[in-house]
Amino acid sequence: MAQIFSALFFTFAAIGASLLLVRMLRDEAARVLAILAGEELVHARALAAPPVRVRVRAWRGPAPRRVPPLRAAA
């Protein structure tokens, strides 16, 4: 009984690994074809992953307040 479960487990593991490998190779093939077609590398990377938007303002501190210059007494 244990041999059946072991055989099933390794069969499904091999199928899953081969599917992951095929998907990875297909993505790489799309990237290589995009480069060979004359597109820039930036566009080829855009095929692999969508761009990430980063809010820069959240990492900056508050703007320093402007201190008015002191005036001389009359």
Q: Where do the H-state alpha helices sit in 37-64?
A: 41-48
Instruction: Let me know if residue 30 belongs to a domain.
Output: yes
Instruction: Let me know if residue 5 belongs to a domain.
Output: no
CA 11, CA 25: separation in Å to the nearest integer?
A: 21
Instruction: Let me know if residue 1 belongs to a domain.
Output: no
Q: Please state the domain count of the chain.
A: 1
Query: Whats the size of the chain, residue-wise?
Result: 74
Who wins on pLDDT, 29 or 58?
29
Mean pLDDT value of segment 20-44:
79
Question: Domain range for residue 35?
Answer: 22-52
Q: Which residue has the tokens 């199928």?
A: 15
CA 46, CA 26: separation in Å to the nearest integer?
A: 15
- Is 80 exceeded by the pLDDT of residue 26? yes
Q: What is the pTM of this model?
A: 0.42
